[in-house]
Each structure stands twice: as structure tokens, then as C-alpha cells.
Amino acid sequence: MIKKPSPPPVSFLFKHPAHIVATGFGSGLSPFAPGTAGTLFAWGTYWPLRALMDANMVFSVFLLVAFALGVWCCQITGRSLGVVDHGAIVWDEIVPFWTVLLLISASLTPMGWAWQLAAFLWFRFYDIVKPQPAKYFDTQVKNGFGVMMDDAVAAGYTVLTILLAQIVLAQVWK
């Protein structure tokens, strides 16, 4: 059985600015399910960020910049930790989940919250299972880009799953 590396100490965050970002401002230091903690951080910060960047185009540009920044931060942090995709690195969950919430047109209604919860669960499922090509990026692309891309693929699968469910349920509810 392969032993998972333990989370780094909080002091690790302050050794390089990239570590703060890559660990999701410390959310990835959770000793239990750091990827889930990072995704919850993304969900919790999505709405305040959307309040600051209301226009979809502005938020989309922010996501592209956050993805590019993530490639660099994940590369630096993985190298420092000695594991390319260390569990404490959660920026790769955060940016793709923000993207999911944007693309499913999440809203602050009861139905909107239900779709967000479904998206959260599907995203975690696809992130853990890693269907192709996510598995390719996870196992073959051993750098910051690969770290970010496997979760971007999980986000794509999540969006497709949610949109398909919305289409099917819209037909059923007619």
C-alpha cells in the first residue's frame, strides 16, 4: 500500500508565495480529504468573487489568469514538496470548480443550490475517478500543467453531466 504524503506544516505556506496559492490559501492543508476541502473553498469563495466581477467576460478572463497562475504555482509547490501533485495542492480543484459554477449558471435560489451541490458531488467523483483524458494528464504530464489539466477535464465532465441532467429533467417536467 502506498502511503500518502502528509500535509506540510502551516509554516510551509510562507516559504514562497506560490505555496499560498497552490494550497488554496491553506485549505489544502486539511489532514482529511484536502481535495474536497479545496473544492469547498472554491464553492465558498465563488459568490464573493462573482460580486466583485459580475460580468461573465471579466470573470472568464480572471479564470484564465488563475489557471495560468496555477500552472506556475503548482509546479513550484510540487517541486518543493517532492511530489508533483501533492494532496495539499488544491488550486487545481479551485479554478476548475469556479469554472463549473460559471458554466452551469449557478444561482442563489433553492434550485440553484441543488444544482451546485450536484456539481460539487460530480466534480469530486470525476476528480477521484479520473476518466480519460484526465488520467492521461494525471499519470503522464508530470508538471504544473498536468496538475491543472486533470481537474479541468473533471470540470468538463461535470458541466456536461449537469447540463445533460438539466435537459433530461426539463423534458420530464414539461
C-alpha radius of gyration, the chain, whole number? 16
pTM here is 0.93
Taking the C-alpha atoms of residue 91 and residue 66, their distance in angstroms, rounded to an integer, is 9
Q: Are 50 and 115 in contact (CB under 8 A)?
A: no
**33-67 pLDDT per residue, tens:** 999 999 999 999 999 999 999 899 999 999 999 99
Report the distance separating Cα 127 and Cα 79, nearest Å: 22
In this prediction, residues 159-170 reach a mean pLDDT of: 93
Say what the pLDDT of residue 2 is. Answer: 53
Residue 174 has pLDDT above 80, yes or no: no
Q: What is the grid cell recorded at 147? A: 496538475
